[in-house]
Amino acid sequence: MNRIETAFQNRPIFMPYFPLGFPSLDISLDVIETLAKNGADLIEVGLSFSDPLADGPVIQKATQTALEQGITIKKSLEAIRNLRSRGVTIPLVLMGYYNPMLSYGLKNFIEEAGSSGVDGFIVPDLPLEESGAFRSAAPSDKIGRMDLPLISMLAPTTPSERMEMLVGSAQGFIYLVSVTGVTGARKDVPEGLGDLVSRVRQKTSLPVCVGFGIGTPQQACAVGSLADGVIIGSACVRTIGESPYPVQAAKEFAEIYSSALMTLKSPS
């Protein structure tokens, strides 16, 4: 059983997002370590890019700051290795855009990510039809399953036939985008989310995790009662980024959200 599978033994899991290099590389390492050791079950680790088309203003600003601070793919992979050396044992999934990975060299990127301690990838601008090169560059087992899964993303607008196609090639877990548009906290949990989660579960046995728009512990609980994982990005970045004490803010953020979801947890 790999780290991702182990994380989902006690659902729903808490999955914060935070970008490497924000507000500086050293602080981001401390923040991610703190999130990991204070309740996060899996962390979506951000790779910065100059054109983050799926991200809202909070994450765009954070990743731009990281780029200005000199973050690169190479430094990001070294940072993952650093986190593992600090005793971070939960799954770390890299979320980034395709162009920097392609520029780095897909085979080198994937191999170095694996040796650094990465558990998988989320690439929001890489559609299934164009993912062949990425999948071919990744090591896989005898039946073609990637050692480091490329996480499939679904949206409320995904047609049923395409949904079947996407989940058919999925590994690790399903990233279900709860709303149309870019990342960012919303006031309410979308109507129909329960039905959308049910539709996806009818097509796959993989865990279904919901992201985009979750900004309060109450919303996290509402989503956690429906899904196997709760992904919190903008609210996490904003709360930590606005604090004069980001590491302490990370500790409090992780404790609040993990405690809220703890009431829903039951071994799978």
Please write the tens of the pLDDT for every residue from 75-111.
999 999 999 999 999 999 999 999 999 999 999 999 9
Question: Is the pLDDT assigned to residue 252 strictly greater than 70?
Answer: yes
Residue extents of the structural domains in the chain:
10-262
Average pLDDT (233-260) is: 97
The angle formed by the CA atoms of residues 84, 170 and 262, to the nearest 5 degrees, is: 55
For residues 226 and 193, what is the distance between their CA atoms, to the nearest angstrom? 8
Q: What percent of the chain has pLDDT over 70?
A: 94
CA dihedral of residues 117, 122, 126, 130 (deg, nearest 10): 60
Answer for the pair 50, 25: CB distance below 8 angstroms, yes or no. Answer: no
What's the pTM?
A: 0.94
Please write the tens of the pLDDT for every residue from 61-70.
999 999 999 9
Mean pLDDT score of the chain: 92
Q: What is the DSSP letter of 45?
A: E
- Classify each residue of 218-239 as buried b or exposed e, where b means 16 or more C-beta atoms within 10 Å of its C-beta: ebbbbbbebbbbbbbbbbbbbb
Residue 44 bears catalytic tag? yes
- β-pair partners for 44: 17, 93
Confidence of residue 181 (pLDDT cuts 50, 70, 90): very low
Average pLDDT (248-264) is: 97
Answer for the pair 114, 147: CB distance below 8 angstroms, yes or no. Answer: yes
Please write the tens of the pLDDT for every residue from 8-49.
999 999 999 999 999 999 999 999 999 999 999 999 999 999
Please write the tens of the pLDDT for every residue from 188-216.
677 789 999 999 999 999 999 999 889 99
Q: Which residue has the higher pLDDT, 181 or 105?
A: 105
- The whole-number pLDDT of residue 197 equals 95
Answer for the pair 224, 243: CB distance below 8 angstroms, yes or no. Answer: no
Question: Is the pLDDT assigned to residue 139 strictly greater than 70?
Answer: yes
> Who contacts 18 (Cβ-Cβ below 8 Å, separation ≥6)?
28, 31, 32, 35, 43, 44, 45, 46, 236, 237, 240, 250
For residues 108 and 73, what is the distance between their CA atoms, to the nearest angstrom? 11
Q: In this structure, is the dihedral angle defined by the CA atoms of residues 68, 254, 219 and 195, taken in order, positive or negative?
A: positive
In CATH terms, the superfamily for domain 10-262 is Aldolase class I (3.20.20.70)
- The whole-number pLDDT of residue 190 equals 73
Paired tokens of 214: 């979750």
Confidence of residue 122 (pLDDT cuts 50, 70, 90): very high
Residue 53, classified by CB atoms within 10 Å of its CB into exposed (0-12), middle (13-18) or buried (19+), is exposed
Q: Which of 44, 112, 119, 228 is catalytic?
A: 44
> Who contacts 190 (Cβ-Cβ below 8 Å, separation ≥6)?
156, 178, 179, 213
Paired tokens of 217: 């512990």
Residue 41 bears catalytic tag? no
For residues 243 and 166, what is the distance between their CA atoms, to the nearest angstrom? 39
Paired tokens of 259: 């405690």
Q: Which of 41, 55, 119, 228 is catalytic?
A: 55
